[in-house]
């Protein structure tokens, strides 16, 4: 009786190369999207922290691409920011790290993979569970940005923690609405392309 032969090494290498190429393309596209959205910034608050879409767009990258590729998007975005003023309001990463926004910058490298790791758990789940996980991932990622943003204000602006939290109140309604849109986009993308996250995680058991 014949047996199924294993995948030839050449075929496996071709598949790996194809996956790597796709990963690079996804990361590049989402990084470009995040940069473009940086041109949308509305000044708010006394500390010069603007209302932006970039922060929720980074979480969208995590929801769509997963933890690993989402982290690469955040990392590449911040690396480009050292060379070019691509952060919201035409700022560089260096400037953001030296100002009251330092906590937000650091949070991107933490909130994005955390949100992405939760998003990866949607694989193999029922639709209601998928929706719940995407909502959890999105708003937890946003919450981590607020947490680290507050810590940054304590360090750079000399505020106490309650005052730092209060300083972010003007941003909450807009960010909540933005995140609802990002979650809806992520759900729509994964409905159309259900295999998209499989390169980042194993199916749920």
Q: How many CB atoms lie within 10 A of CB 50?
A: 18
What pLDDT is recorded for position 13? 65
Q: Which of residues 17 and 59 earns the better pLDDT score? A: 59
Residue 155 lies in a domain: yes
- Report if residue 6 sits inside a domain: no
Averaged pLDDT of the chain = 88
Angle, in degrees to the nearest 10, between helices 67-83 and 102-119: 160
Q: Is the pLDDT of residue 181 over 60?
A: yes
Does a structural domain hold residue 83? yes
Q: Write down the pLDDT at residue 199.
A: 62
* Tokens coding 82: 């050292």
Q: How far apart are CA 151 and CA 162, in angstroms?
A: 10
Assigned domain for 2 exists: no
Inside any domain, residue 204: no
40-53 mean pLDDT: 65
Two tokens, residue 149: 């943003």
Examine residue 5 and state whether it is found in any structural domain, yes or no: no
> What share of the chain in percent tops pLDDT 90?
69
Please say if the pLDDT value at position 23 is more than 80. Answer: yes
Query: Which CATH number is 188's domain given?
Result: 1.10.1760.20
The answer, yes or no, to whether residue 195 has pLDDT greater than 80, is yes
The closest alpha carbon to 96, from 145, 156, 45, 140, belongs to 156
pLDDT band at 204 (very low <50, low <70, confident <90, very high): very low
Residue 1 lies in a domain: no
Which among 64, 85, 187 is positioned nearest to 131, based on CA atoms?
187
Residue 132 is assigned to a structural domain of this protein: yes
pLDDT digits (tens, 9 = 90+) for 69-128: 999 999 999 999 999 999 988 899 999 999 999 999 999 999 999 999 999 999 999 999
Domain range for 135: 11-199
Total tally of structural domains belonging to the chain:
1
CB of 48 closer than 8 Å to CB of 100 = yes
Closest CA to 23 of 68, 78, 62, 59: 68
């Amino acid at each position: 009786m014949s047996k199924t032969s294993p995948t030839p090494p050449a075929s496996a290498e071709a598949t790996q190369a194809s996956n790597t190429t796709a990963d690079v393309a996804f990361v590049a596209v989402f990084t470009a999207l995040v940069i473009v959205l940086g041109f949308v910034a509305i000044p708010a608050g006394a500390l010069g922290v603007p209302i932006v879409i970039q922060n929720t767009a980074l979480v969208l990258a995590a929801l769509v691409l997963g933890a690993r590729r989402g982290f690469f998007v955040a990392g590449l975005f911040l690396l480009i920011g050292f060379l070019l003023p691509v952060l919201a309001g035409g700022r560089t990463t260096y400037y953001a790290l030296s100002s009251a926004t330092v906590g937000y910058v650091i949070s991107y490298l933490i909130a994005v993979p955390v949100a992405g790791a939760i998003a990866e758990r949607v694989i193999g789940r029922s639709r209601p569970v998928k929706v719940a996980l995407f909502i959890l991932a999105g708003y937890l990622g946003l919450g981590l940005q607020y947490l680290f943003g507050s810590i940054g204000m304590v360090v750079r602006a000399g505020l106490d923690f309650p005052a730092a939290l209060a300083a972010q109140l003007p941003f909450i309604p807009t960010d909540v609405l933005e995140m609802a849109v990002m979650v809806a986009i992520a759900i729509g993308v994964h409905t159309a392309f259900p295999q998209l996250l499989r390169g980042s995680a194993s199916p749920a058991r």
